Structures are given as structure tokens and as C-alpha cells.
Amino acid sequence: MAQTADKRVERSKAAVLFETYRQLTQGGISGVSIDEVSRVSGVSKTTIYRHWPSRSALLIDACSRLGNAHQAPDTGTLRGDLHALAMNLAEQLQTAAWASVYPSIIDAAERDPEIAAMQCELHKGFMAPFHAIAERAKTRGEMPLGKPATDLIAAIVGPLFYRRWFSKEAIDDRFTEAIIEAAIKLALRQEHG
Amino acid sequence: MAQTADKRVERSKAAVLFETYRQLTQGGISGVSIDEVSRVSGVSKTTIYRHWPSRSALLIDACSRLGNAHQAPDTGTLRGDLHALAMNLAEQLQTAAWASVYPSIIDAAERDPEIAAMQCELHKGFMAPFHAIAERAKTRGEMPLGKPATDLIAAIVGPLFYRRWFSKEAIDDRFTEAIIEAAIKLALRQEHG
């Protein structure tokens, strides 16, 4: 009996998350309506709020399914690793569902501290492979130990994000490769003095 | 008589725009409610929709007041001009009202073609000084003629935007200067072959 009830709960939760995720990828965070989630999933609002205490809590749960963690490549050189990561990111920005949802999270994070904390975690997950390859480049002596990996990350990820969401220009291989070269020069440069 | 009516119309429009702009800077695009604009401004919804045929039209009008056009600096060198522009942008990203509103425009532009067209115009205006200084650097022979200014822009603006809205790290002078150096190397590099 308890098992059957557990299964029913799991099924309800899955239906709610599925519909929330669908609305999220279609209309961004502001496009998610709990009334509509309840109607489509057939799960009452009372039950929804029993599992997720607030709209933000449900959104956070759905958003956490947006990005799948990426393994850090290990090609043996910083250039090779950056190339693999940047090409993959460029591809995803132009095809993956999360790319059209992420601006709505960034927007909500400007005003909602719960969403801001969730965005911070999502961002950390997205950037983990970059930190991993920078660490290895430092261990190999390829990158100066005192150089912050975050500068390198900003110099690669920033221009790609900018093209996808702000200038809406094409992200072709020529562009991505030029950005990688510039970022490597930044990463390997010794500080003055 | 006609003049008095004209003045009244101008006053109503100004009151509507003022309140729309206030809501926009406080809650982003999705935070603007026409009902609330009507209530606070004392201008009926019928009158509002007489002046702006749609919510998007009113939002576009209010958003167009967000950025004030910047003059392109003219220091005599690409490095000097980029330094002036990037430092000013870094400062604005951390203090100006538009910096907290822009993500809501980027988000809405993913789904609303009217807002997307407006964002495209806003972006063009923001980037005009960068294009102007790149043109001058080409005229001086400082930058290769075939080099797209848009690569240079992405390499400067991208990392600054990324830090403001995505990683939320501080944008200090050290970072901005490192980014400028990397972007200059990208801008001055001759293509292979």
C-alpha cells in the first residue's frame, strides 16, 4: 500500500515537472503558469504546493534539469581542451533548449534572490569543465599559477554568449577560433612588473 | 484651443511614459502592467491604446529612452579609444538603470519579434561608438582593413556583459585592462595564409 502511494506521488511529481519544463522551454520563466501546470498535468495546485513550497522552488527544480553536466576534455594541451569546450558551447548555444531559456533566468535573477542563487549554481556547473582544464594547464606549467581561470573563462564564454543573445550574429568556427586564440594569449601572458 | 488640447495630449503621453519607464526600471519588461500604468498616470487605458497601439509599442518607446547615445572618443590610438569606451561601459554596467533592465529585453526578444527588432536597434546604438573607433583605426592603418570590427566588439563587450549578468563577478580595472589587451591583439592580428 505504502509503495503504491509512493509510486503515485512520484508519478504526480514527474508529470508536474514535465509540464513545467515544457512551459519553461517554450516561454521562459515568466511563461510558467502554475494554474496551467496543474490543468495539463492533472495534479491539483494543493498537491503541487505540497511538493514545492513556492513557484520559485518548482522553477528551480525544473531549471536544474536544463543543463547536463559536461565532462572536461583532456587533450593534453590548453589549446586543445579550450577548442573542444568552446566548439561544444558554440554548438549548444545555437541548438540546445537551455539557450533560449537562460536569458529568462538571468532576468529573473536580477530581482529574485532565490532564482539568483539557483542561477549561481547553474553557472558554476556550466563553468566547472573550464576550471578543470585551467587547473590541469597550471599543473603542466602551461599557464602561470597566479593567473585567474575566471579571466580565461570570461574571454571565451563572454564573446560566445554576447553573439547568441545580444548581437545575434552567427557563431562560426572562424569566430570561435579567433576568440580562443585571443583568450589563450590572455591566459598565458605574465603580468607586468 | 487646439494648442491646449495638444498640450494636454503631450502631458498625458509624458505621464504614461514616465510611469512605464519607472515600472520598467523596477521590474523589467514583465513588470510593466498597463492597468497599473493607467492607474498611476491617471490616463485611461483607452487613451493609452490610442497613442500606442499595443503593449509592445509602449514598451519599445519606454526602452528607447534607456540608453543615451555615447560619443565615440578620439584619443588618436585604438588602445586609447578602446580604453575610454570599455571603462565607461564597465562603469555603466555597475551603476546605470539600463543594466538591470537589459536582460528582460534580451529575454523578451527570444519570443517577441517586435521586441527583438527593438533590441536590435538598441544594440546598434550601443555599439555605434565601437564601430566609429574601429573605422578610424583602419583609416590610420592601425587595424587591418579586412578585420571585422564585430570581432573586436565581441571580445570587449562580451566579457564585460558576461561578468555583469552571468558570473556576477566584480568588473575591476585590472580585468577590463586585461580584456582590452587581449582584444587589441585579436584586432591587430593578420589572418593566417
pLDDT above 90: percentage of residues in chain A: 73
Element (H, E) at B134: helix B113-139
Q: Residue B127: closest CA among chain A residues belongs to which residue?
A: A167
- B89 to each of B40, B70, B77, how far by Cα in Å? 33, 10, 18
Tens of pLDDT, residue by residue over A146-181, are 999 999 999 999 999 999 999 999 999 999 999 999
pLDDT band at residue B192 using 50, 70 and 90 as cut-offs: very low
Inter-chain contact A166–B153, Cβ cutoff 8 Å?
no
Query: What is the signed CA dihedral for B71, B75, B80, B83, rounded to 10 degrees?
Result: -20
What's the rounded mean pLDDT across residues B28-36?
Answer: 92
Counted residue by residue, chain A has a size of: 193
pLDDT band at residue A193 using 50, 70 and 90 as cut-offs: very low
Q: Which three cell numbers stand for residue A7?
A: 509510486
Asked if A136 contacts A74 with a C-beta cutoff of 8 angstroms, the reply is yes
Q: For B2-63, which CATH class? A: mainly alpha
pLDDT at residue A5, rounded to an integer: 81
Enumerate the domain spans of chain B.
Answer: 2-63, 78-188
Would the pLDDT of B4 be above 60?
A: yes
* CA distance linking residue A60 with residue B92, whole number of Å: 30
pLDDT above 70: percentage of residues in chain B: 95
pLDDT at residue B71, rounded to an integer: 84
- When scoring B162, B163, B175, B181 by the number of chain A Cβ atoms within 10 A, the one with the most, hence best to mutate, is B162
pLDDT at residue B193, rounded to an integer: 34
| Portion 121-150 of A in contact with B at CB < 8 A | 123, 127, 150
* CA distance linking residue A190 with residue B75, whole number of Å: 27
> HEC profile for chain A?
CHHHHHHHHHHHHHHHHHHHHHHHHHHCHHHCCHHHHHHHHCCCHHHHHHHCCCHHHHHHHHHCCCCCCCCCCCCCCHHHHHHHHHHHHHHHHHHCCHHHHHHHHHHHHCCCHHHHHHHHHHHHHHHHHHHHHHHHHHHCCCCCCCCCHHHHHHHHHHHHHHHHHHHCCCCCHHHHHHHHHHHHHHHHCCCCC
**φ, ψ of residue A134 in degrees (nearest 5):** -70, -40
Domain B78-188, CATH: 1.10.357.10
pLDDT at residue A47, rounded to an integer: 95
**CB-based contact (8 Å) between B24 and chain A?**
no
What's the rounded mean pLDDT across residues B84-112?
Answer: 93
pLDDT at residue B2, rounded to an integer: 67
**CB-based contact (8 Å) between A68 and chain B?**
no
pLDDT at residue B65, rounded to an integer: 81
Inter-chain contact B186–A179, Cβ cutoff 8 Å?
yes
What's the rounded mean pLDDT across residues B73-101?
Answer: 94
Any residues with CB less than 8 A from the CB of A104 and at least 6 apart, and which? A24, A28, A29, A30, A31, B107, B110
Counted residue by residue, chain B has a size of: 193
Tens of pLDDT, residue by residue over A1-47, are 567 888 889 999 999 999 999 999 999 998 899 999 999 999 999 99
Would the pLDDT of B94 be above 80?
A: yes
pLDDT at residue B97, rounded to an integer: 87
Residues of chain B positioned with their CB less than 8 A from the CB of A181: 186, 189
pLDDT at residue A49, rounded to an integer: 96
Tens of pLDDT, residue by residue over A63-76, are 888 776 678 999 99
pLDDT at residue B190, rounded to an integer: 59
Annotate B39-52 with b (16+ C-beta within 10 A) or e (fewer): ebbebeeeebeeeb
Inter-chain contact B159–A154, Cβ cutoff 8 Å?
yes
Which residue reads 519588461 in cell numbers? B29
- When scoring A123, A162, A176, A190 by the number of chain B Cβ atoms within 10 A, the one with the most, hence best to mutate, is A162
Cβ-based contacts under 8 A for chains A and B? 116
| Portion 151-190 of B in contact with A at CB < 8 A | 151, 153-155, 157-163, 165-169, 175, 178-179, 181-183, 185-186, 189
Q: Is the dihedral of CA B98, B77, A169, A74 positive or negative?
A: negative
Which residue reads 508519478 in cell numbers? A11
Mean pLDDT of chain A: 91
Closest CA to A172 of A117, A112, A90, A111: A90
3-state helix, strand, coil in chain B (%, to 5): 75, 0, 25
* CA distance linking residue A38 with residue A55, whole number of Å: 12
Tens of pLDDT, residue by residue over B151-186, are 999 999 999 999 999 999 999 999 999 999 999 988
What's the rounded mean pLDDT across residues B122-134?
Answer: 93
* CA distance linking residue A61 with residue B58, whole number of Å: 34
What's the rounded mean pLDDT across residues B65-81?
Answer: 86
End-to-end, the C-alpha distance of chain A in Å comes to: 73
| Portion 96-115 of A in contact with B at CB < 8 A | 100, 103-104, 106-107, 110-111
Inter-chain contact A167–B154, Cβ cutoff 8 Å?
yes
Inter-chain contact A103–B107, Cβ cutoff 8 Å?
yes
Asked if B152 contacts B186 with a C-beta cutoff of 8 angstroms, the reply is yes
What's the rounded mean pLDDT across residues B101-114?
Answer: 93
Would the pLDDT of B64 be above 90?
A: no
Which of B153, B163, B182 is facing A186, going by the closest CB pair? B182
pLDDT at residue A192, rounded to an integer: 47
Tens of pLDDT, residue by residue over A179-191, are 999 999 888 875 5
Any residues with CB less than 8 A from the CB of A39 and at least 6 apart, and which? none
Which of B154, B161, B178 is facing A186, going by the closest CB pair? B178
What's the rounded mean pLDDT across residues B93-119?
Answer: 92
What's the rounded mean pLDDT across residues B133-151?
Answer: 94
Closest CA to B58 of B75, B80, B33: B33
- pTM (predicted TM-score): 0.91
